[in-house]
Structures are given as structure tokens and as C-alpha cells.
Structure 1
Amino acid sequence: MRIAYLHGGGMPSPFANGVHVMRMCDAFAAAGHEVTLYSMPGSDEDPYTYYGVRHRFPIRLVACPDYTSSGYWKRAKDIRTLMADGPTPDLVYGRDPYALTALRNVAPLVYEIHQLREDLSPADTEEELLGAPRLVRVVAITHALARDLREKYAALGPLPIVVAPDCADPPGPAPVEGLPLPGRPDALRVGYVGHLYDGRGIGLVLELAERFPSVDFHLVGGTDEDRTRWQRACGSPHVYFHGHRPPAVLGEYYARFDVVLAPYERKVYTWGRLGETGRWASPMKVFEYMSHGCPMIASDLPVLREVLHDRVNCLLRPPEDPDAWAGALDELITDSALRRRLGAEGRRQVLERYTWRRRADVVLSGIGDQLTARTGSVG
């Protein structure tokens, strides 16, 4: 199929949504589809190298004149005009409700949603999109989000929702020489990878560092502003802030960690506290941890229990209970067999259930047959 993927963010960018979009486009290309990504301009890095994707699918950059609803609608119309110059896609897929709505009469639509949107203007934009006759599927990242979406739009009747969690790529061969990390060569390494926004549990990580002076803690990610803020709050000399790293090189860090942390709080905020997503989150880093066989301690939250199971593929502890987290970390430090067992099971589950390539098949399952029945052929 010819797939037009609509992304409402910059490319490349330091944000997780860019990783998700590039991984999905790469997976669609690996499945044999002809995919074109429509994105906003981002930084100057080569996006294929920055994200470490295998396929060089076309990326068409469409700027937004300003970050207001009128600017997003103007950009949506520009995408529609740009798309008219080439072959009509068989399917329009994406996370950008403005552009999807503008293209609702061009081709069948798949709308992927990661949170309930309360920021759209006009307020009924998402409702109009979900009621579009050519909408063939809604992809939600968690069952919790799917339930809330059905409840919010109950007046539209049954929505064609497919639940597809975030995923990870299987790791490549381990580097011959390990990534050099600061710290003590004989110390166990505890890692955290991700942004340092409010709700990510960074305060808990720093408290654990104070309780375990013989362990080195490494935090990878975060904006310069957030990193500076947490470094000032950190009183432990064995905590190392590595800053943002391109997604393509994160595997080198995972390979050096003995234990990893996913200490999400009950309210998880996006950049600038523009949204709160803790109720619906499907964190990519959890799957990346599992993919690399890293033994993990994670927050015991209902949405994470859709994937994580205590003493099966991780240790789950309440995010507001530092003593419980300290006990879990102490258990993993002293029990190498438990570390190996949890890491191996996590990796097995990712390879079996949670690869991007498998997700591409899940979110498109049966759509090709629907389009063939409707048009007689699919390009």
C-alpha cells in the first residue's frame, strides 16, 4: 500500500513522539509498504542516522506558520496541496488530528491516539475526525485509553479501536568494546533513560542514589534546562547525568546497565507540563529496557500492568514508596540469578509480542482486504 503518515511534530527532534513515528514508518517500509512521512522541520541532523532506522522512506517537511490552531489548520491545508502533486495514497495514517481531518476525503484514514486531546480548536475537531465516513481504524496505545475514548465519544457508537502498545526493535550485535562510562569500574550500574520532566520519578532516583553509595547511577536524557535543575538538586557524587543522546546510540548505554529504573509517578507530564498522560502511558523506554534484557524496577501503576508483571518481567513497586524501591534494588543487587531471569523474560516477551515490525502488521491487519474490496486494487 501507499501510506501517507501525518506527524504533527518536528523531525528530527528530542521528543519521544519522533522516535515512535520514525520506528513505525520504518516498520511499514520493512513490511513492504510505500510510506511517505509528512512532518515539520526539526534539527539539522540526518533523521535516518539520528534515529537509526533501516529504510530511507521519503520525508516531506511542511512548516507550521505559528503554533496556534489557525497555524495547524494552515499547515494541514498545505499538506493536502502537497499531497495532490503525487500519487494519491491508499491510506492516510497518523497522529495529527488537524491534518487527518483536512484529508478525510482524500483516502481512508487510521487515527493513532496516545492521549485524550483537550487542546484542539474547534473543540469538536476530534469528534468530527472520529465520525468521518472514511475512518477505518483508531489505534490506541493502551486498553485504558481505549476505554476512556469509547466513553468520551459514546454518542458516535462503537469505534473501530485496535489496542497496540509501544514497542522496541530487537537489539543489534553488542559492540566489541563497551561504551566508556564515568564512575567506578567495579561498581554496579543503575540506569535511567528518558526525559527528566515532572512525573518521571527523578527525585526517587536521586533518593535511591543517596541510599546506595556503593552503586553508580546514570541518567541518560533530558533537556539542558531539566538536567541543570536536577544536577543542582543532586548531592551524590556517584550520579552521572549524560544528557540527551540520539536514539540510534541508546543501545550502547543499555548494554552497560546492570539494573534499570522506570519510576513513573501517578501523574506523568509532557514537555512544559502541556499534558498529563499517566493514566494512558505506554512508555517506549520500558520496551527498550526489556528488549535489551535489562532487569527493571518499575512503578506499580494500573496502565503499566497491561504489560508488566511483578517477578515475571520486572519488579513492580508503588511510586510513592521509596522504602519499597530500595528493597527491590537491594534484592536485585544481591541476586544476580533474579537479574538474569527478569531480563531474559522481558527480552523474550518483546521479541515475541512487542516489536515494531509486529506492531505494523497489527495496526494494518485486514485493512488491505478492505481497500481491495472497496477499490478493486491497491497500489
Structure 2
Amino acid sequence: MRIAYLHGGSIPSFFANGVHVMRMCDAFTDAGHDVTLYSMPGSYSDDDPHEYYGVRHRFPIQLIPAPDDTPDGYRKRGEQIRSLLTGDDAPDLIYGRDPYALAATAGLAPFVYEVHQLRQDLPTGTEQALLSLPGLAQVVVVTHVLAHDLQAAYRGLGTLPIRVAPDCADPPDPGAVLDAPRLPGRPDAPRIGYVGHLYDGRGIDLVLDLAGLLPGFDFHLVGGTTEDRARWEAPCPHPNVYFHGHRPPAVLPGYFPLFDVVLAPHQPKVYTWDRLDEIGRWTSPMKLFEYMSHGRAIVASDLPVLREVLEDGVNCLLRPSDRPQAWADAVTDLVADRALRSRLGDEARRQFLELYTWRRRADLVLADLRLPGTVST
């Protein structure tokens, strides 16, 4: 099947949505589909996107800028993408997270709309109009609570064709040759890792509290923009905390095996870059699945949305997001008990391989699509 993936963000970038989009296009290609990604051009890096993200397949990428950063500019970009999808390049399916481009191209082929939050940034009526189009084949969301909230928000449209598909990860490539990063710190100190952005609500203050409670352990935080790193690192009083900053997704697999315990300290309210959106109720953090893919022992916040994937004492330890001492006790228990670490990590990896690989997700979101009978051009 020929799939046009429409992305409203930039490639490459340091945003998680770029990782998600590239991994999904890679998985669609791995499943045998002919995929072209239509994205905004990136300003973060000049690296080849396939190498920067470490994907396995070199699917085509078309970088289409918007005339300006306004809804009208994004609509004009959508019309430009529409012109590229006609004739010999007409796709069998249009898939994407860009409501403007999806609306502009919806008449060319059945389309799948993927959404990770209730969109508050769109002009009134934009998303409802998109969900009302006859070409809509499916709506993909990352959590069950988001499926419920989206259906409730648009109950007037009747039952939406919603598919719940959590974020995922790729299994580590046993044949990959990675340069293992050299971590600073004490050679005999247990290494506690956090990988992800440093935005508000990601629990970075909880990690720093843990470092104060556990001075015998070294804490490594991998990720974050230069500005966010400076905001947390400059006032940090603990010598056992190391900030590593943003790393290209392609090199992150080298970090996970170095950590004895990994942390997912999300708070009830989780913000995106520059606090533009609050997504705590619906979040499906990709790094959580990367932890699972590497069989790491996880301590995570006991939040309803994370319990869609995690189970205390089975594939992780769950602790209240506002109780640092409970987290310190959990980390200490895991460091002291190798058998417990192995049991939790092994079960996390088993569940990951069964349920949470990008390839499985690609197959899931394309299975049994509700395709309209005839789509007009």
C-alpha cells in the first residue's frame, strides 16, 4: 500500500513527535508499505534524518515549509502537499497528525488521523470538521483515557472509529555497533538513569530530591534542551547528579544498558515545550517503552494513565509521584536485590516484545480499517 504520512512538525528536531513519526514511517516501511513522509524542514540539526533518528529504512522525506506560522499558513501548506499527492504519486492511504494537511488532502484517499491530546491550539471547529469528513478511516490515540475524552468531546458526531495504540519502541539491535558513552561519576556507585525531556511535570525535581536522599548513588539525566538543562543544572546542589543534555535518538540505545535502575517520575500535570500544552492525563511516554525494551528495572509514578501499561511488582515498581522517600526506598530495594531487578526487567521486556514494538503498532493501526467505499477526487 502507498502511504503518505503528513507531519505538521519538523524533521529533524529535538521534539518527541519527530521520533514518533520517523519510527512509525520506519515500521510501515518494514511491513512492506511504500511510505513517503511529508514534514516541515528542521532547524535543529543538519544531520541526515535517517541517521539522526537511527531508523532502519530510507523512506523518502519531502520537506514542505509553511508560508507563515498561522492557521492560514498551515492551510496553504496543506494545499501544496495536496498538489504533490495527485497523479502518479496518489497514495492509497493518507496518515498523519497534521489536521490542516489532512483536511486539505482528505478527498484524495481514505485518511487516518492520529492525535495524542485534546487539541486546544486549533481554531474553533477545525478538528470537528476533520472528524466529520467522509474519508475518515480511523482515529488513532495513545491511551484509553484519551479515547474516552475524545469521544466525549465530539459525542455529537456519533461513535468515532477510534483505535487505541500506545507509543512504542524498537527492540535493541543485537548486531548494532554502538560507541558506549563514558559516564562521569564514581566507578563503584550504582547508576540511576532518567532519559527524556526536562519540561515541567516530568518529575525532574523529584529526581533531584532522590539524589539528595541517596548520596551514595549517581544520577544521570539524558535529554533536554540547552535552556532547560541550564535551568535545572545551575541551581542543583548535589554532586552526584550529571546532566548529559540532548542526544540524537540514534545514540540513546548505548545509554540504557549502563543504568542499574531507570526512572519515570511523571507528575499528574505534564507540560510540553515552553508549557504550550498540558498532557498529563493522556501521556504515553516513549522513553518508558525504551526502558522496557532494554529490560531495565523501572520505578514509575503511580498515575492512572501509566497504569494502562505498568503494574506494580510485575513489570516495575509504582510509587506516588509526590513522595520522594517512597521512591528512595524503591530505588534502594532494587539496587540491593539483583534478582528483583532481573525479574521486573525481564517481564517488562517480555511484555514489550509482545505488545509494544513499533512494527506491531504499525500492523495494528492498519488492521481492519473502516475504509469508505468511494472517495471522490
Specify if TM > 0.5.
Answer: yes
Q: Map Cα deviations across residues 93-150 of structure 1 (whole Å, 9 max, x no partner).
A: 00001100111111101000100011112x1010011111010100010000000001
Query: In the alignment, is the contact (CA less than 8 A) between 2:135 and 2:371 conserved in 1?
Result: no
Q: Map Cα deviations across residues 62-87 of structure 1 (whole Å, 9 max, x no partner).
A: 00122221211111111112223642
1:280 to 272, 279, 282: 282
Structure 1 distance, partners of 2:189, 2:365, is 43
Q: Measured at CA, do residues 249 and 209 of structure 1 come closer, stay the same or move farther in structure 2, by a change above 3 Å?
A: same
Partner residue in 1 for 2:30: 30
Query: In the alignment, is the contact (CA less than 8 A) between 1:175 and 1:252 conserved in 2?
Result: no
Q: Could you tell me which amino acid in structure 2 is paired with residue 21 of structure 1?
A: V
Name the SS for the 2:107 alignment partner: coil
For residues 211-250 of structure 1, the aligned pairs below 5 Å read: 211-250=213-252
Q: How large is the RMSD of aligned CA atoms in angstroms? A: 1.4
Partner residue in 1 for 2:119: 117
Name the SS for the 1:19 alignment partner: helix
Q: Could you tell me which amino acid in structure 2 is paired with residue 16 of structure 1?
A: A
Gaps of at least 5 residues in structure 2 are: none
Name the SS for the 2:10 alignment partner: strand
**How far 1:183 moved relative to its partner?**
0.8
Query: In the alignment, is the contact (CA less than 8 A) between 2:178 and 2:251 conserved in 1?
Result: no
Query: In the alignment, is the contact (CA less than 8 A) between 1:282 and 1:304 conserved in 2?
Result: yes
Partner residue in 2 for 1:157: 158
Name the SS for the 1:39 alignment partner: strand
Partner residue in 2 for 1:258: 260
Partner residue in 2 for 1:87: 89
Structure 2 distance, partners of 1:47, 1:316, is 36
Structure 2 distance, partners of 1:296, 1:190, is 10
Identity over the aligned pairs, expressed in percent?
Answer: 66
Structure 2 distance, partners of 1:208, 1:109, is 46
Query: In the alignment, is the contact (CA less than 8 A) between 1:64 and 1:71 conserved in 2?
Result: yes
Q: Map Cα deviations across residues 144-164 of structure 1 (whole Å, 9 max, x no partner).
A: 000000100000000000100
Structure 2 distance, partners of 1:228, 1:159, is 44
Structure 1 distance, partners of 2:178, 2:2, is 39
For residues 6-155 of structure 1, the aligned pairs below 5 Å read: 6-42=6-42, 43-84=45-86, 86-121=88-123, 123-155=124-156
Structure 1 distance, partners of 2:107, 2:180, is 52
4+ runs of 1 displaced by more than 3 Å? 174-178
Which region of structure 1 is more displaced relative to structure 2, 307-316 or 70-79? 70-79
Partner residue in 2 for 1:332: 334
Structure 2 distance, partners of 1:175, 1:181, is 18
**How far 1:175 moved relative to its partner?**
5.5
Query: In the alignment, is the contact (CA less than 8 A) between 1:11 and 1:40 conserved in 2?
Result: yes
**How far 1:40 moved relative to its partner?**
0.4
Q: Map Cα deviations across residues 18-70 of structure 1 (whole Å, 9 max, x no partner).
A: 00000000000000000000000013110000011011000000001222212
Q: Map Cα deviations across residues 241-278 of structure 1 (whole Å, 9 max, x no partner).
A: 10000001101000101000000011000001000000
Gaps of at least 5 residues in structure 1 are: none
Q: Map Cα deviations across residues 278-336 of structure 1 (whole Å, 9 max, x no partner).
A: 00001000000000011000011101000000010000011111121111111112111
Q: Measured at CA, do residues 61 and 176 of structure 1 come closer, stay the same or move farther in structure 2, by a change above 3 Å?
A: closer
Name the SS for the 2:353 alignment partner: helix
Partner residue in 2 for 1:5: 5
Structure 1 distance, partners of 2:323, 2:217, is 20
Structure 2 distance, partners of 1:86, 1:193, is 43
Structure 1 distance, partners of 2:336, 2:96, is 45
2:315 to 305, 313, 316: 313
Q: Measured at CA, do residues 176 and 157 of structure 1 come closer, stay the same or move farther in structure 2, by a change above 3 Å?
A: closer
Q: Measured at CA, do residues 176 and 364 of structure 1 come closer, stay the same or move farther in structure 2, by a change above 3 Å?
A: closer
Partner residue in 2 for 1:194: 196
Per the normalisation by structure 1, the TM-score is 0.96
Structure 2 distance, partners of 1:276, 1:231, is 23
Name the SS for the 2:29 alignment partner: helix
Name the SS for the 1:6 alignment partner: strand
